[in-house]
């Protein structure tokens, strides 16, 4: 081993910073450089902790070599250097070194590569307008100048030093400090020989406090299975998609006037194997697609599928926003899942969470030692209720992180739409806050202007892709024009969850039938605003957790009445204006609350009442899809007319759903008292066929009904020129179709 007669005290400051692992631009010191003293000399510096001896080898393709030019160690350091005539060392060279155990290592020097992120990418990212930032940020196995390795890049503007660490360098932040790219806050390094499958994180030293943080990659596309938290260098995208026809058809789908019935699913608890193990993406693809197709749903909506450390968060506290969770398999296996559902004619939506992120030490929280992705002031930057942090939507790079993430899921995984979670918490500065615990906007109001601007931008970007992707807002207040175009002053979402209708309906249905007459307005009020937005009618996971009980056991009465009420509720929902959404288990009236740790109670389908509800939901889905009057004008008042909304005494509702060439009548009895000989007005003379009756014995009902067809009478009734005499079964809804 050769040692220079130099000590640390003899070294210039920039070289000392390398030894102390605090250099902003290690490429200015490490690697090969010409001396600036006017001589024809050049110098090569290498910093390798734990090295005993280091050599340079000009033959970069040798599989193994211990020959070459020996570098000299600077005394008391792990810095080695060589100095000699220019041209002695090629631009690309091998570093050959022996560790303290005399084991041979060999690698191309990462510090002989030029910057790989273009000025154009840096510029767009800084402006918050780079929709594909995930293509250069994170870790990407790639080939540069015929040399294979991995490009690492991250954003940490307040860092003094950032290093790529992993199983390729014993997690030692001194080994591969990254290059800071000017004032952009971006850092990068290409490390030859690091292949797909390598584990990695970023080690970040803060500029002010000099504290060191070990962080997961915000743009990481694959992670270890929890509780481990390292990212994994993803393999090259080798997946071959087979859904070209689906994707092309989606571009031209008139979703405003098409049926949309969504099955909301938590993949970890939809179904598990006999040992209680999660099903894989491939197993889920086969089984879920078969079930959803059988049940007649048009879409599935997945609770957040991005990587998250805590099962109990259901995915809503995301750490790896760019990575399908490894609980069920690899990213390519998730691609197969989506592809397979598309092949069965089923759309795939995902819950997307830009409202907040968890405080986990390895995540985004104080990423570079400062409040980078969040706000410093907890009055703006923290959700007290959830124990999470709020994104700083006013920062261009943070908006870029979120916007690029949305595009990533849509383009890289062919997702058909995003349901944006907790929109109300984003747009109100005082959301769930006490007086004095929030900061008004510049005009003194409670609107989060940055979040509003971000949401509008998000929707403009997604709809501007021209791919037919949808966005849906879970927005629980009366904020106007959520699903109206941004150029009209709206937020630009395709649709909005109708939380008011859901709440009023479930409260009404939870009342004993004898008391419902006093709360009739809870059913009728929703039609005053039903067409102010493009509404989705959701009975979601939130309604069957946290002590709310299941849908079944929220219903009053004895066991028969509870099931009858569930059947009535769903029949009412499927005829009411708006797209449909049911959380898994609701479709067969599971009795227990949803438990994210365990499979649904599929065994209850051995019992006829549960099987009857499942059969009803299946028939409702197919009826809904096959009758244009039920979906053609769901967002337009021309598709709905009241026949009678005033019979509160008997708790009966009757209305018409219609399209250009079809008339459907829905009649609903919200009491257990049968109504025989009940006359209702109808808009047309002719025959009306009973196409669905929730009281059918097939569904577990009492089998009262109207024996197929009913002929109209020329008797004006309810301000209609014609009328029919019908039987309204107890706690039931019937659907009648005009057939001339």
Contacts of 84 (CB under 8 A, 6+ apart): 41, 42, 69
| pLDDT at res. 11 | 78
CB-CB contact of 163 with 21 (8 Å): yes
| pLDDT at res. 6 | 65
Nearest partner of 81 among 144, 140, 11, judged by Cα: 11
Give domain status of residue 298, yes or no: no
**Which residue, of 94, 112, 130, is where some domain finishes?**
112
Give domain status of residue 138, yes or no: no
What CATH number corresponds to the domain at position 730?
2.60.40.1180
What predicted TM-score, i.e. pTM, was given to this entire model?
Answer: 0.94
CA 188/CA 149 separation, integer angstroms: 13
Domain count, the chain: 2
Place of tokens 């050049």: 42
Using CB atoms within 10 Å of the CB of residue 653, give its burial: 0 to 12 exposed, 13 to 18 middle, 19+ buried. buried
- In the residue annotation, 421 being an active-site residue is answered as yes
Phi and psi at residue 679, in whole multiples of 5°? -90, 135
pLDDT digits (tens, 9 = 90+) for 423-468: 999 999 999 999 989 999 999 999 999 999 999 999 999 999 999 9
Q: Which residues of the chain have pLDDT under 70?
A: 1-9, 58-67
Give domain status of residue 134, yes or no: no
DSSP 615-683: HHHHHHHHHHHH-GGGTTTTTSGGGEEEEE---TTTTEEEEEEEETTEEEEEEEE-SSS-EEEEEEEES
CA 654/CA 225 separation, integer angstroms: 53
Strands 261-265 and 579-583: parallel
Give domain status of residue 726, yes or no: yes
- Compute how many other C-beta atoms are within 10 angstroms of the C-beta atom of residue 711: 11
How big is the chain, counted in residues? 740
Give domain status of residue 76, yes or no: yes
Rg of the chain on CA atoms, in Å? 32
| pLDDT at res. 36 | 77
**Which residue, of 88, 112, 136, is where some domain finishes?**
112
| pLDDT at res. 274 | 81
Give domain status of residue 10, yes or no: yes
Give domain status of residue 72, yes or no: yes
Determine which one of 421, 587, 619, 695 is catalytic.
421
Which residues share a beta bridge with 652?
Answer: 669
Determine which one of 121, 450, 474, 695 is catalytic.
474
**Which residue, of 112, 138, 161, is where some domain finishes?**
112
Which structural domain range is residue 729 located in?
A: 636-738
pLDDT digits (tens, 9 = 90+) for 547-563: 999 999 999 999 999 99
What CATH number corresponds to the domain at position 12?
2.60.40.10
Which alpha helices (DSSP H) does 35-92 contain, by range? none
Strands 69-70 and 72-74: unpaired
Which residues share a beta bridge with 497?
Answer: 536
CB-CB contact of 341 with 233 (8 Å): no
Give domain status of residue 66, yes or no: yes
- In the residue annotation, 188 being an active-site residue is answered as no
């Amino acid at each position: 081993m050769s040692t220079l007669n130099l000590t640390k005290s003899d070294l210039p400051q920039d070289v000392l910073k390398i030894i102390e692992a605090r250099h902003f631009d290690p490429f200015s010191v490490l690697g090969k450089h010409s001396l600036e003293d006017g001589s024809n000399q050049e110098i090569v510096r290498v910093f390798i902790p734990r090295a005993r001896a280091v050599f340079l080898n000009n033959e970069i393709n040798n599989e193994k070599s211990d020959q070459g030019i020996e570098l000299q160690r600077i005394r008391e350091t792990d810095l080695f250097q060589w100095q000699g005539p220019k041209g002695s060392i090629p631009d690309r060279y091998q570093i050959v070194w022996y560790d303290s155990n005399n084991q041979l290592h060999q690698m191309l020097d990462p510090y002989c590569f030029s910057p790989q992120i273009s000025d154009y990418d840096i510029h767009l990212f800084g402006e918050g307008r780079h929709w594909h930032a995930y293509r250069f940020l994170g870790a990407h196995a790639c080939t540069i100048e015929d040399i294979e390795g991995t490009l690492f890049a991250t954003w940490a503007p307040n860092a003094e030093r950032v290093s790529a660490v992993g199983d390729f360098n014993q997690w030692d932040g001194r080994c591969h400090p990254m290059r800071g790219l000017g004032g952009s806050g971006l850092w990068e390094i290409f490390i030859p020989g690091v292949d797909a499958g390598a584990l990695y994180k970023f080690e970040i030293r803060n500029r002010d406090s000099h504290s060191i943080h070990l962080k997961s990659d915000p743009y990481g596309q694959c992670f270890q299975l929890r509780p481990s938290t390292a990212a994994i260098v993803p393999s090259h995208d080798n997946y071959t998609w087979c859904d070209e026809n689906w994707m092309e058809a989606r571009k031209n789908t008139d979703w405003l006037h098409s049926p949309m019935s969504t099955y909301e699913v938590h993949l970890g608890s939809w179904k598990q194997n006999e040992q209680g193990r999660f099903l894989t993406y491939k197993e889920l693809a086969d089984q879920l697609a078969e079930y959803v197709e059988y049940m007649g749903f048009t879409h599935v909506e997945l609770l957040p599928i991005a990587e998250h450390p805590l099962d109990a968060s259901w995915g809503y506290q995301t750490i790896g926003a760019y990575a399908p969770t490894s609980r069920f398999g690899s990213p390519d296996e998730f691609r197969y899942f989506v592809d397979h559902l598309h092949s069965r004619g089923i759309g795939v939506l995902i819950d997307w969470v830009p409202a907040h992120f968890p405080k986990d030490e390895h995540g985004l929280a104080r990423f570079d030692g400062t409040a980078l992705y969040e706000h410093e002031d907890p009055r703006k930057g923290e959700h007290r209720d959830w124990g999470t942090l709020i994104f700083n939507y006013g920062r261009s790079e943070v908006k870029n992180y979120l916007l690029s993430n949305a595009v990533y899921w849509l383009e890289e995984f062919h997702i058909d739409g995003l349901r944006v979670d907790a929109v109300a918490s984003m747009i109100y500065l005082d959301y769930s806050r006490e007086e004095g615990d929030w900061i008004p906007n510049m005009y003194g109001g409670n609107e989060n202007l940055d979040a509003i601007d971000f949401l509008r931008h998000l929707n403009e970007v997604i709809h501007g892709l021209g791919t037919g992707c949808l966005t849906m807002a879970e927005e629980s207040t009366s904020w106007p024009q959520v699903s109206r175009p941004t150029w009209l002053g709206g937020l630009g979402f395709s649709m909005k969850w109708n939380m008011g209708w859901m709440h009023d309906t479930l409260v009404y249905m939870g009342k004993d039938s004898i008391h419902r007459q006093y709360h009739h307005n809870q059913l009728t009020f929703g039609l005053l605003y039903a067409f102010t937005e493009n509404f989705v009618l959701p009975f979601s996971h939130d309604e069957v957790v946290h002590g709310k009980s299941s849908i079944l056991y929220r219903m009053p009465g004895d066991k028969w009445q509870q099931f009858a009420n569930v059947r009535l509720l769903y029949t009412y929902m499927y005829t009411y204006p708006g797209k449909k959404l049911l959380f898994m288990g609701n479709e067969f009236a599971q009795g227990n609350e949803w438990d994210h740790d365990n499979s649904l109670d599929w065994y209850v389908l051995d019992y006829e009442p549960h099987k009857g509800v499942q059969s009803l939901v299946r028939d409702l889905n197919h009826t809904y899809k096959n009758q244009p009057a039920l979906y053609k004008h769901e967002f337009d008042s021309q598709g709905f007319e009241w026949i009678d909304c005033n019979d509160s005494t008997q708790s009966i509702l009757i209305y018409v759903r219609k399209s250009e060439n079809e008339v459907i009548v829905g009649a609903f009895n919200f009491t257990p008292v049968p109504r025989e000989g009940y006359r209702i007005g109808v808009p047309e003379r002719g025959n009306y066929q009973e196409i669905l009756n929730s009281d059918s014995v097939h569904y577990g009902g009492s089998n009262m009904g109207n024996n197929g067809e009913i002929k109209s009478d020329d008797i004006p009734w309810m301000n209609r020129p014609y009328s029919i005499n019908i039987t309204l079964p107890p706690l039931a809804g019937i659907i009648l179709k005009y057939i001339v």
